[in-house]
Amino acid sequence: MSAREGHTATLFKDNVLALDSGASLSPVNVGYMTYGSLNEDRSNAILICHALTGEQYVASEHPITGKPGWWERIVGPGKLVDTDKYFVICSNVLGGCLGTTGPWEVNPETGKPWGLDFPVITIRDMVRVQAALLDHLGVENLFAVIGGSMGGMQTLEWLTTFPEKLHSAVILASAARHTAQNIAFHEVGRQAVMADPNWQEGRYYEHAAKPDKGLAVARMTAHITYLSEDALTKKFGRNLQSRDSVTFGFDADFQVESYLRYQGSTFVDRFDANSYLYITRAMDYLDIAGRHDGRLADAFQGAAHVRCCVISFSSDWLYPTDENKRVVHAMNAAGVPVSFADITSPHGHDAFLLEEPEMDQMLEGFIATAAKARGL
Amino acid sequence: MTNSLRPDLKLIADMIEPKSRVLDVGCDDGSLLSYLVDEKNVDGRGIELSQKGVNASVAKGLFVIQGDADNDLNEYPDDSFDYVVLSKALQAMHRPKDVLINLLRIGRKAVVTIPNFGQWRVRFDLLTKGRMPVTKALDKTWYNTDNIHFCTIHDLFDMVAEENITVKDFVPHKHDGTRLNMGRRRANWHADQALFLLEK
């Protein structure tokens, strides 16, 4: 599919976006893409929520990297999320760096990029912006909201915050809270960014050099958490990179090192370091049960009419099966109709983006029967 | 007839009041639940261990959780269902008594079916051959069977009595689902399987 120009909407012009932190933003720009068209009943809209380093280009070429859409395997004409049938919306999250207001954008009050003056945001704040975008698009309610990883966290917050706008929801490889280990890995990534002298307390926008080294290290660390030991062993083992023996130095002797360095170096071309800080922080702050005295089920009381599907992957140690099951048990206790499977996969957390026939089969059955129930 | 159901599952379906809430533990491909949803308008949920069973159930529009009764039943709130169904699976549980108590904690009633290890062919097999019986209903050898806690009709009656559980209905039947009109003593000799409708 060829590159398509994205859209930008300017929201919260006359009112403000009240954030969980107590701060507020006005206006808020949102970069987004749509695929397919809204039917006459306005009943066929699907919102896709992207993960930490994703964006709105779910089914079309990325404008910077030129790579195909990040979920073209699932979203497109005749695909599992069929854009001939459904109106698919995907927007860059609040705090992101591809068209949506974030720390890189100019603060209207100072005329300079926000940097660290940008308010700290939450997953629920991202969802509030998405809800405002739907109002702007004339979409009153959604046939489905679908998301994996941080996209799944947004989907969960849709269920807690705007359940009345939902018919069904799909949550893949996700969690309703960040554990100590999740926070720990994110902190390593943030410290790597902040330790880069080019970061300059977040004021690098005014300089030629960006904190690329720090951000690359952050990405390398995070990337390990998206895979599994088995996947790494299968893919790289102890294989050497274009050499016959180790060099007794600190070059990338091993293929896995070379691979991670490449992942890090390409990431900095498409992502803003401060955005990375803000979005990882939003994920760390996620603790849906914490808002309900530890009772996660209470968060889903308003969602008993929403058809839900939760999928975890056996080798995912970032958002493991048990964290997904916690969500499922809470939904059950709240009377939310939910299906769940733990797909056996060697691919770790990234499995949700990869070819997983059992996942596809489950999603296909879920979406088809949910559509039937809505008369689509 | 929009829906044809295996005769032994039909016996279970006959126990379920229309428009009730039903949890089917070990729901396989969702045949029973789907029948109950279509024909009796129940609000049905399932638990199933196999991915194949989960996917088949979801494709029928059912809500099914991949998991096992030994562990996952603990997570369901008290009295959240009118009926909890456990079809020919009690003997495969690690802690069958705990599971049974859990069924009646979660549901007001439980429909439990068991293969009857007291049936005369099983007894005759063990008596004459001196080896663990392999029959149509119990078709695996001792070392590869999932059935680790066999019981007879008498055994189950004894256990539910111990736990002060009431047997509201008892339907001994043949492998093919044919009802046998007999009391528990004769049924323990003749029935391949038996259905128990239990209540706290």
Q: Do A342 and B77 touch (CB under 8 A)?
A: no
What is the spatial distance between Cα B111 and Cα B152, in angstroms, rounded to a whole number?
Answer: 17
Six token digits for residue A118: 């940008």
Contact indicator for B138, B119 with CB cutoff of 8 Å: no
CB contact under 8 A, A307 and B62: no
Residue B63: enclosing H or E segment and its boundaries?
Answer: strand B63-66
The closest CB to that of A362, out of B58, B60, B80, belongs to B58
Nearest-CA distance B55 → chain A (Å): 5
How far apart CA B161 and CA A353 sit, in angstroms, is: 52
**B21 at A interface, C-beta within 8 A:** no
Helix (H, G, I), strand (E, B) or coil at B182: coil
Contact between A369 and B67 using a beta-carbon 8 Å cutoff: no
Write down the pLDDT at residue A350: 97
Give the pair of three-digit tokens for residue A195: 């330790």
Low-confidence ranges of chain A (pLDDT < 70): 1-5
- Rounded to the nearest angstrom, the gap between the alpha carbon of residue B113 and the centroid of all alpha carbons in its chain is 3
Search chain B and give the residue with CA nearest A365: B59
Q: What is the pLDDT of residue B5?
A: 92
Q: Mention every residue, 6+ apart, whose C-beta is less than 8 A from residue A293.
A: none
Q: Residue A370: closest CA among chain B residues belongs to which residue?
A: B61
Q: Which residues contact B181 (CB under 8 A, 6 or more apart)?
A: none
Side-chain half-sphere exposure of B158, counting CA atoms within 13 A: 7
CA A329/CA A315 separation, integer angstroms? 20
The span from the first CA to the last CA of chain A, in angstroms, equals 26
Residues A26, B55: Cα–Cα separation, whole Å: 46
Residue B134 and residue A357: Cα distance in Å, rounded? 36
A358: contact with B, CB 8 A cutoff: yes
Rounded distance between C-alpha atoms, residue A296 and residue A312, angstroms = 18
* Distance of alpha carbon A165 from alpha carbon A145, whole angstroms: 10
Measured between CA atoms, the residue of chain A closest to residue B43 is: A337
Q: Please tell me the predicted confidence (pLDDT) of residue A3.
A: 41
Cβ contact, residue pair A332, B76, below 8 Å: yes
Q: Are B166 and B198 in contact (CB under 8 A)?
A: yes
Q: How far apart are CA A339 and CA A311, in angstroms?
A: 8
Whether the Cβ atoms of residue A277 and residue A219 lie closer than 8 Å to each other: no
Give the span between the Cα atoms of A99 and A363, in whole angstroms: 30
Which pLDDT value is given to residue A169?
98
Distance CA A16, CA A108 (A): 14
- Tokens 């111990």 appear where? B162
What is the pTM (predicted TM-score) of this model? 0.96
Say what the pLDDT of residue A242 is.
94
Q: Residue A5's pLDDT is what?
A: 67
**Are the CB atoms for A315 and A346 separated by under 8 Å?**
yes
User: So which residues of A are the catalytic ones?
Assistant: 149, 316, 349
pLDDT score recorded for residue A1: 36
The count of other CB atoms within 10 Å of the CB of residue A243 is: 11
Closest Cβ–Cβ partner in A329, A342, A343 for B75: A329
The verdict on a CB contact (< 8 Å) between B58 and A344 is no
What average pLDDT does chain B have?
A: 94
| Inter-residue contact A155 to A49 (CB < 8 Å) | yes
Q: Give the count of beta carbons closer than 10 Å to the beta carbon of residue A174.
A: 29
Mutate to test the interface with B, among A300, A339, A360 (most CBs of B within 10 A): A339
Instruction: Write down the pLDDT at residue B134.
Output: 80
Residues of A in contact with B80 (CB under 8 A): 332-333, 335
Q: Report which residue type is found at A156.
A: L
Quick check: B78 and B105 in contact, CB under 8 A? yes
Name the minimum distance, in Å, from the CA of B57 to any CA of chain A: 9
* B153 φ/ψ angles, rounded to the nearest 5 degrees: -60, -45
Cross-chain Cβ contact A365/B65 below 8 Å:
no
Q: Beta strand pairing status for A87-91 and A307-313?
A: unpaired
A340 phi and psi angles, rounded to 5 deg = -145, 140
What does the pLDDT look like over B44-99, one tens digit per residue?
999 999 999 999 999 999 999 999 988 899 999 999 999 999 999 999 999 999 99
Residue A308: name the closest of A299, A316, A317 by CA: A299
pLDDT at B132: 87
Check if the beta carbon of residue A324 is closer than 8 Å to that of residue A340.
yes
Structure tokens at A376: 């689509």
Return the HEC string of chain A.
CCCCCCEEEEECCCCCEECCCCCEECCEEEEEEEECCCCCCCCCEEEEECCCCCCCCCCCCCCCCCCCCCCCCCEECCCCEECCCCEEEEECCCCCCCCCCCCCCEECCCCEECHHHCCCCCHHHHHHHHHHHHHHHCCCCEEEEEEECHHHHHHHHHHHHCHHHEEEEEEECCCCECCHHHHHHHHHHHHHHHHCHHHHHHCHHHCCCCCHHHHHHHHHHHHHHHCCHHHHHHHCCCCECCCCCCCCCCCCCEHHHHHHHHHHHHHHHHCCHHHHHHHHHHHHCCECHHHHCCCHHHHCHHHCCCEEEEEEECCCCCCCHHHHHHHHHHHHHCCCCEEEEEECCCCHHHHHHCCCHHHHHHHHHHHHHHHHHCCC
- Report the residue of A308, A325, A332 to disrupt the B interface, i.e. the one with the largest count of B CBs within 10 Å: A332
> Which residues does chain B have with pLDDT short of 70?
1-3, 137
Asked if A304 is an interface residue toward chain B (Cβ–Cβ < 8 A), one would say no
Residue % of chain B over a pLDDT of 70: 98
Q: Do A343 and B51 touch (CB under 8 A)?
A: yes
Two tokens, residue B196: 């128990």
